[in-house]
Structure 1
Amino acid sequence: MNSASLATRLKDALVSTDDGALMRYAFFGLLVAAGAFVAVDLREMSMANASIPGHDPLRTDAPVLPPALTDRVPQAPPVQPRSPPEVLRQPIRFELGSGGELLAEGSIDVGAATRFAQEIEARGEYVKTVSLNSPGGSVDDALAISKLIRENKLSTKVAGKALCASSCPLVLAGGVSRQAEEDAVIGVHQVFNGGQIRPSPEEAMSGAQNTTARIARHLDKMGIEAGLWINALETPPDRLYYLTAEEMARFKLTTGAVATAEAGDEADHRSGG
C-alpha cells in the first residue's frame, strides 16, 4: 500500500468517526505520551540505582503512606489511616464479614489476584461488597482483581480512615457501585510494573508505556474518567496525590453520595434500629 492510499484511508476513517470517539482517542494518546515521559524519569533513575525505584509497601524500609505531593515541603495525608503500618505491609488477606462485606486488607502482592479468585469461587455467593484497606502493590494483580469484581457485579468501598493508595484505586474502580466514606484516604501516583531485576533503559521505557496504556484502557472500560490518572502521572512514586470527595465524584471513581457515620445513625433511627 503506497503512502497516498494510506493517507486517504486514514482521512476517511477520521471523517467517519464521531467527535466523542475522537476525543477519547486523543485523550488516551495523551496518557500514553505522558507515560513515555514517566519512562524517561524511570530510565534516569534506573541508571542511578541498583533496583527499580518507587513505592513498594511490602518493603520494610519504604513508607506505607508517602507524603502528599507539594511544591517543596512534604505534608501529611488529610487523615491518618487507622491501621498500623505492620498490618498494611502484610500480603493482602480476605475476610468475609457480616452483610456480605469482604474485607481486603494489606498490600497487593504478586499472586493476590489468584487468592482473590479462589475466595470468590469458594464464597462468592455471599459477597456483595469488597471493602478495601490497602497501600497498593502489584499493578497486574490489582487490574485482575478489579476485572473479577466487575464480572461478578460486586460493589466496592473504602471505609472511613481506611487506605486505598497507589494501585488500590484500580481495584476500587471495578465495583458496579463505588463508595468512599467520610475520612477515607485515597491517593494515586506513578506506578510501574517491574521485577527485582534492574531493567535496561529501553525495558523501563517500554514497561512504563505499556502499563500506562493498560491502566487507561481499564479505567475506560470501568466507566472512570481518564482525567483521574493524569493526577497519578504527575505525581512521583514517593509521593501521593490525595483525592478529594469532589474529585472522586467528578472522575466517577465514586458513585452516589459520600457516606458518613452520622447518616448511618440517622437511617437506623428512622428505621427504629
Structure 2
Amino acid sequence: MRGAFFGLLAAASAFLIIDLRELSLQTADLPGHDPMTTDAPVLPPALTDGVPNAPPVDPETSPDVLRQPMRFELLPGGVMKAEGSIDLGAADRFAKEIEARGEYVKSVSLNSPGGSVADALAMSKLIRDKGVNTHVAAKALCASSCPLIFAGGVAREAEENAIIGVHQVFNAGEQRPSPERAMSSAQSTTARIARHLEEMGIGNGLWLHALETPPDRLYYLTPEEMKAFKLVTEPVATAKQAARK
C-alpha cells in the first residue's frame, strides 16, 4: 500500500510540473509575477463553482489582514494565535515565541492562507516536539501549507465552519527556474510533505487532493474527510457537548 501511495505521488508530481510550466508560460510577460515562489502568498481562491466542495462559509478575517506576515499573540487559556501568511522566517519567529512563552502555550490557533512550505513544516515539527495542540476556529482559514502546521498538533480540533483547504504547493528558491529544476524542486517538496504527514499520523490520501488541485484553486475538506484522514482528533463541538452533559 505504501509503495502504491508513493507511486501515485510521483504521478501527481508529474502533472503538477505540467501545471506549473503552463502557468509560467501564461504569466511570463507579466512584470514582477513569479508563480514559482511562496514568499509572497495571497489569499487562495475557491475551487471553480465549488466543485467538489464549496467552502462552508466566508472567512471572518479580511484578506488584507490575512496577507500580512504571520503574527503571534498569546491569549488567555494558553492559546497562541497565529494569524497571517506564512512568510519566510515565520518559523524562526514562532520558535522564539515558544522559547520565551512555551511553558504557557497549550494550543496554537491558526488563521492563515498559507505560504512558505519550509516554514510550515518547521513550525509543525516544533509543535509536535513540544506536545502542543492545534486548533482552527469557526470562520477561520487554514489553507495551502497551513494544514501542514495543523497536522503537527498532538490533538487537532476544527470547529464547525472552520475553513480548511489544500492545493498544490511548491517551494523554490530561484525565480523562473528551468523545467528540470522545477521538477526536481516539486518532487523534493512532495516527498518532504508526504513523509511529514506520515510521521504526524495523517492519512495518505489527504495530500493527493492537494496534488490534484491547481495552485490557483482550493480543495475544501469536509468534516467527514478531516475525520477520515485523521486530520482532526476530536471536533471542538463534540468536546463542548460532552462538557455540558
What TM-score do you get using the length of structure 2 for normalisation?
0.90
Q: Which deviates more from structure 2 when the two are superposed, residues 159-168 or residues 75-84?
A: 75-84
CA gap of 1:124–1:230, structure 2 versus 1, over 3 A, is same
Q: Which runs of 5+ in 2 are unaligned?
A: none
Following the alignment from structure 1 to structure 2, what is the Cα–Cα distance between the partners of residues 28 and 206? 16
User: Equivalent of 1:68, from 38, 47, 51?
Assistant: 47
Partner of 2:229: 251
Question: Structure 1 residue 193 and structure 2 residue 171: aligned?
Answer: yes
Following the alignment from structure 1 to structure 2, what is the Cα–Cα distance between the partners of residues 75 and 26? 26
Q: Match of 2:236, as an amino acid?
A: A
Q: Which is greater in Rg?
A: 1
Question: Structure 1 residue 53 and structure 2 residue 35: aligned?
Answer: yes
Q: What secondary structure is seen at the aligned counterpart in 1 of 2:109?
A: strand
CA gap of 1:65–1:38, structure 2 versus 1, over 3 A, is closer
Alignment size in residue pairs: 241
Q: What secondary structure is seen at the aligned counterpart in 2 of 1:99?
A: coil
Alpha-carbon distance, 1:35 to partner: 1.1
Alpha-carbon distance, 1:43 to partner: 2.4
Following the alignment from structure 1 to structure 2, what is the Cα–Cα distance between the partners of residues 156 and 42? 31
Q: Match of 1:153, as an amino acid?
A: G
Q: Deviations over 1:120-172 (max 9, x none)?
A: 11110100000000000000000000000000010001011100000000000
Q: What secondary structure is seen at the aligned counterpart in 1 of 2:103?
A: helix
Q: Is the 8 A contact 2:70 2:84 kept in 1?
A: yes
User: Equivalent of 1:111, from 72, 89, 101?
Assistant: 89
CA gap of 1:151–1:196, structure 2 versus 1, over 3 A, is same
Question: Structure 1 residue 144 and structure 2 residue 126: aligned?
Answer: no
Q: Deviations over 1:18-69 (max 9, x none)?
A: xxxxx1132123212211221122123324433442796946xx5x140124
Q: Is the 8 A contact 2:226 2:232 kept in 1?
A: yes
CA gap of 1:104–1:266, structure 2 versus 1, over 3 A, is same
Q: What secondary structure is seen at the aligned counterpart in 2 of 1:220?
A: helix
Following the alignment from structure 1 to structure 2, what is the Cα–Cα distance between the partners of residues 48 and 163? 29
Q: Is the 8 A contact 1:42 1:205 kept in 2?
A: no
Following the alignment from structure 1 to structure 2, what is the Cα–Cα distance between the partners of residues 30 and 57? 28
Percent identity, aligned pairs only? 65
Following the alignment from structure 1 to structure 2, what is the Cα–Cα distance between the partners of residues 186 and 106? 15
What TM-score do you get using the length of structure 1 for normalisation?
0.81
Q: What secondary structure is seen at the aligned counterpart in 2 of 1:126?
A: coil
Following the alignment from structure 2 to structure 1, what is the Cα–Cα distance between the partners of residues 226 and 92? 28
Partner of 1:79: 57
Partner of 1:223: 201
Following the alignment from structure 1 to structure 2, what is the Cα–Cα distance between the partners of residues 56 and 139? 8
CA gap of 1:142–1:242, structure 2 versus 1, over 3 A, is same
Alpha-carbon distance, 1:77 to partner: 2.7
Following the alignment from structure 2 to structure 1, what is the Cα–Cα distance between the partners of residues 53 and 194? 28
CA gap of 1:28–1:210, structure 2 versus 1, over 3 A, is same
Higher helix share: 1
Q: Which runs of 5+ in 1 are unaligned?
A: 1-22
Following the alignment from structure 1 to structure 2, what is the Cα–Cα distance between the partners of residues 157 and 111? 22
Q: What secondary structure is seen at the aligned counterpart in 2 of 1:145?
A: helix
